[in-house]
Amino acid sequence: MRAFLAVFGLSLAASASRAQNSPIRPPDSTAITIHAAHMFDGRGVKEDVLVTVRAGRIERVDTNVGPRGGSATRDLGAATLLPGLIDAHVHPGWYINRRGALHGRDDDTPAQSALARAGNLYATLMAGFTTIQSLGGPEDLDLRDAVARWQIPGPRILTSIIQISDSALSADSLRSIVRALKVRGADVIKLFASAGLGAGGQQTFSNAKLEAICGEAKAQGLRSVVHAISAASVRAATLAGCTEIEHGTFATKSELALMASHGTIFDPQVCLVFQNYIDHRDVYSRSGFTPQSFDALANAIPVATAMFKQAIATAGLKVIFGTDAVALAHGRNADELFCRVRAGQRPLDALASATSAAAAALGLGDRLGQIAAGYDADLIAVRGDPTRDIAAIRNVVFVMRGGVAFAVP
Ligand SMILES: [Zn+2]
């Protein structure tokens, strides 16, 4: 009896300490069943579904369940169930400081910065995004860990920690930066192959240095994601064997075809990253943006939209979803999906780009981006049917990450 009590006492203490270690209750082995009238499973549409979740994973998926749906732990009624959305390009570290301007170095206390960033993660999660790739800031490591330890609500984070942009460095120095980032725990390498949009987007790193960075990343088992605005920089990054190209604003038919033939993943943006600055002109004017900056952003929207139309018409090109969300765009990520559909993408293709295709691009295609047995229980539901009307993607009514449901305000 004493032995029994000792064992019993010990297990109680162990479970109590687990609960105390994380304010958000982690998933356990209790089965949760979720019923919804419609489902986009990451690839296609199914009806009248019952998804069983246990210990953070999807255990099984039944379709056309009929009256069995009524006994679900959570009945989402007429809503559409989807895999948690994935944004392959965000900056959760960017926020507006207490003076109403884009934060800079040292203008807030570390706690103020951390809280603002936790707020960005919360807004992103509540918008239905359960995984983000941050490209990237040093604060990401702590944010990634806090989310993974169920300390704060947020999407799963993959991070590049820094952005490699100093084209004066030697190829050897660049290779050693990549190796050091691997040691620090980077999930991905981010580099700038070109200047920014306002500066014309001309190529910065030489072809040889691009090969050094992307080649070393590959040797370290890391993907390389490249900021490239001009056509020449897109071409150079593709030929250097980099994994993924961001923006590609001035890419032409020939660079798009080149990316397709090299299997290079493409993450273009058509509106949110431009529109967000324009919508918050006051804040960004206080943050160093000039009238010329806003003109360049406004002018970029039709250019990026025309390029995007050509990208989705390019045979074999893997187009994924990423917003480049910065301060005040966190939580608005789905606006970019809306713009992509308005630019001519089919809603199903837009949704796949932000689920199954993005997961595959992040090297997590066997765990994320689909609603299927064995996948992580990252599930969202929206009112209406976004496979018919993409605007429904903004009406998030349910969010679950890793088997934990978060209250939607
Ligand atoms: Zn960015």
pLDDT at 111: 95
Cβ-based burial of 117 (10 A; exposed 0-12, middle 13-18, buried ≥19): buried
pLDDT at 305: 97
Whether residue 402 is preceded by a cis peptide bond, meaning omega within 30 degrees of 0, is no
pTM of full prediction above 0.85: yes
Distance 402 CA to ligand 1 centre (A): 26
Distance 34 CA to ligand 1 centre (A): 35
| CA 334 – CA 132 distance, rounded (Å) | 13
pLDDT at 20: 56
Distance 373 CA to ligand 1 centre (A): 34
Per-residue pLDDT of 258-289, as tens digits, reads: 999 999 999 999 999 999 999 999 999 999 99
pLDDT at 289: 94
In percent, how much of the chain has pLDDT > 70?
Answer: 95
Distance 161 CA to ligand 1 centre (A): 12
Distance 91 CA to ligand 1 centre (A): 6
pLDDT tops 50 at residue 370: yes
H helix and E strand count, the chain: 13, 17
Distance 323 CA to ligand 1 centre (A): 8
Distance 88 CA to ligand 1 centre (A): 10
Distance 135 CA to ligand 1 centre (A): 6
Distance 382 CA to ligand 1 centre (A): 27
Cβ atoms of residues 33 and 72 within 8 Å: yes
Distance 31 CA to ligand 1 centre (A): 39
With cut-offs at 50, 70 and 90, classify the pLDDT of residue 3. Answer: very low
pLDDT tops 60 at residue 151: yes
pLDDT at 107: 81
pLDDT tops 90 at residue 10: no
pLDDT tops 90 at residue 251: yes
Helix (H) or strand (E) holding 356: helix 356-361
Distance 166 CA to ligand 1 centre (A): 16
What residues does 155 pair with on adjacent strands? none
pLDDT tops 50 at residue 16: no
Distance 193 CA to ligand 1 centre (A): 13
pLDDT tops 70 at residue 299: yes
pLDDT at 6: 44
pLDDT tops 60 at residue 233: yes
pLDDT at 345: 98
Q: Which residues are near ligand 1, the ion (C-beta closer than 5 Å)?
A: 324
pLDDT at 74: 95
In terms of Cα–Cα distance, which of 132, 128, 42 is closest to 394?
Answer: 128
Distance 149 CA to ligand 1 centre (A): 26
Distance 197 CA to ligand 1 centre (A): 12
Distance 90 CA to ligand 1 centre (A): 6
Give the residue with greater pLDDT, 365 vs 20.
365
Provide the mean pLDDT of the chain: 94
Cβ-based burial of 6 (10 A; exposed 0-12, middle 13-18, buried ≥19): exposed
| CA 202 – CA 208 distance, rounded (Å) | 16
Distance 89 CA to ligand 1 centre (A): 6
pLDDT at 105: 75
Distance 313 CA to ligand 1 centre (A): 25
In terms of Cα–Cα distance, which of 113, 107, 111 is closest to 94?
Answer: 113
Q: Report, as an integer, the average pLDDT of 294-312.
A: 96
pLDDT at 141: 98
Contacts 24+ apart (CB under 8 A), 65-68: 65/35
pLDDT tops 90 at residue 360: yes
Distance 325 CA to ligand 1 centre (A): 7
Per-residue pLDDT of 91-148, as tens digits, reads: 999 999 998 999 987 789 999 999 999 999 999 999 999 999 999 999 999 999 999 9
Distance 275 CA to ligand 1 centre (A): 14
| CA 204 – CA 225 distance, rounded (Å) | 15
Return the amino acid letter for 218. K
With cut-offs at 50, 70 and 90, classify the pLDDT of residue 13. Answer: very low
In terms of Cα–Cα distance, which of 350, 359, 336, 356 is closest to 388?
Answer: 350
The C-alpha angle 94, 95, 99, rounded to 5 degrees, equals 135
Distance 368 CA to ligand 1 centre (A): 23
Distance 6 CA to ligand 1 centre (A): 55
Q: Report, as an integer, the average pLDDT of 153-167.
A: 98
Q: Report, as an integer, the average pLDDT of 23-36.
A: 94
Distance 95 CA to ligand 1 centre (A): 14
Cβ atoms of residues 384 and 396 within 8 Å: no
Distance 324 CA to ligand 1 centre (A): 5
pLDDT at 9: 42
pLDDT at 22: 86
With cut-offs at 50, 70 and 90, classify the pLDDT of residue 8. Answer: very low
Distance 254 CA to ligand 1 centre (A): 24
pLDDT at 198: 79
Give the residue with greater pLDDT, 198 vs 162.
162
